[in-house]
């Protein structure tokens, strides 16, 4: 009935991935708490943060997972990826090396995400946005916007440049992923 429809709950697991120090933890801190840590260490990472979002008038909960720094040792576990329906794949526009790692992260995302074997949305890919973070570092840019866009198009990903420092596009990047998941699953 109507009452039950109103309280229908959506909970989407979203994972943050990408090389160490690209700004994953700060993107989450900015999005969920409107905070920024100028000299953050990997220890600021929480395991996950649940964020309520309004999508087309419906309340949707995004459970956003952050690493505890294990990406530095290329040791992100399968448990981290398990059940994820969305991903923000982050690089740092001021460090080309982090952009060169994107292919490896995509491989890992696709090989370690076992959701397809466990739950009903088996036909659905992990909705992924390629995020070029630190767009505020204009003078130190090593990866052009066009390159980011081209890679995203080639891999079938959404794309956005963000800054956790000045907040630009941070909410938009998370919302793009959650909206797309909602549209696919609803
Ligand atoms: P993580 O290892 O990917 O979680 O990266 P962190 O969130 O810990 O950020 C690594 C470093 O980059 C920290 O010193 C942050 O303050 C800095 N940082 C993160 N996001 C931005 C950003 O958008 N702009 C700038 N200028 N620095 C950032
Ligand atoms: Mg971190």
Distance from residue 22's CA to the centre of ligand 2 (Å): 8
Distance from residue 68's CA to the centre of ligand 2 (Å): 6
Tell me whether strands 127-133 and 58-65 are parallel, antiparallel or unpaired. Answer: unpaired
Segment 1-16, tens digit of pLDDT = 455 555 557 899 999 9
Atom of ligand 1 nearest to the CA of 66: 4
Backbone phi and psi for residue 150, each to the nearest 5 degrees, phi listed first? -65, -40
CA distances from 48 to 15, 93, 145, 159 (A): 9, 25, 29, 23
Distance from residue 9's CA to the centre of ligand 1 (Å): 32
| Sheet containing 10-17: order of strands | 48-55, 58-65, 10-17, 86-92, 127-133, 158-161
Atom of ligand 1 nearest to the CA of 28: 7
Neighbours of ion ligand 2 (CB under 5 A): 24-25, 42, 45
pTM of the predicted protein model: 0.92
Question: pLDDT at position 123, please?
Answer: 54
Question: pLDDT at position 1, please?
Answer: 45
Within 6 A (CB) of ligand 1 lie: 20-26, 37-40, 42, 133-134, 136-137, 163-165
CA distances from 125 to 78, 133, 159, 173 (A): 16, 23, 16, 18
Segment 37-61, tens digit of pLDDT = 998 765 555 689 999 999 989 999 9
Distance from residue 57's CA to the centre of ligand 2 (Å): 32
Question: pLDDT at position 111, please?
Answer: 87
**Which ligand places an atom closest to the C-alpha of 41?**
1
Low-confidence ranges of the chain (pLDDT < 70): 1-8, 41-46, 114-124
């Amino acid at each position: 009935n109507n009452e039950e429809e109103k309280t229908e709950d959506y909970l989407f697991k979203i994972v943050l991935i990408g090389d160490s120090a690209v700004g994953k933890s700060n993107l989450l801190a900015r999005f969920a708490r409107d905070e920024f840590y100028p000299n953050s260490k990997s220890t600021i990472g929480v395991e996950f943060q649940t964020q309520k979002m309004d999508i087309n008038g419906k309340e949707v909960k995004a459970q956003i997972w952050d690493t505890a720094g294990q990406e530095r040792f290329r040791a992100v576990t399968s448990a981290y990826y398990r059940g994820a329906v969305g991903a923000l794949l982050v690089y740092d526009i001021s460090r080309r090396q982090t952009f060169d790692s994107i292919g490896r992260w995509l491989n890992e995302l696709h090989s370690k995400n076992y959701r397809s074997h466990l739950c009903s949305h088996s036909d659905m890919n992990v909705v992924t946005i390629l995020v070029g973070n630190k767009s505020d570092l204009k003078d130190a840019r090593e990866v052009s916007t066009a390159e980011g866009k081209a890679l995203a198009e080639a891999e079938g990903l959404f794309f956005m440049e963000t800054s956790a420092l000045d907040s630009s596009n941070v909410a938009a990047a998370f919302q793009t992923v959650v909206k797309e998941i909602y549209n696919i699953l609803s």
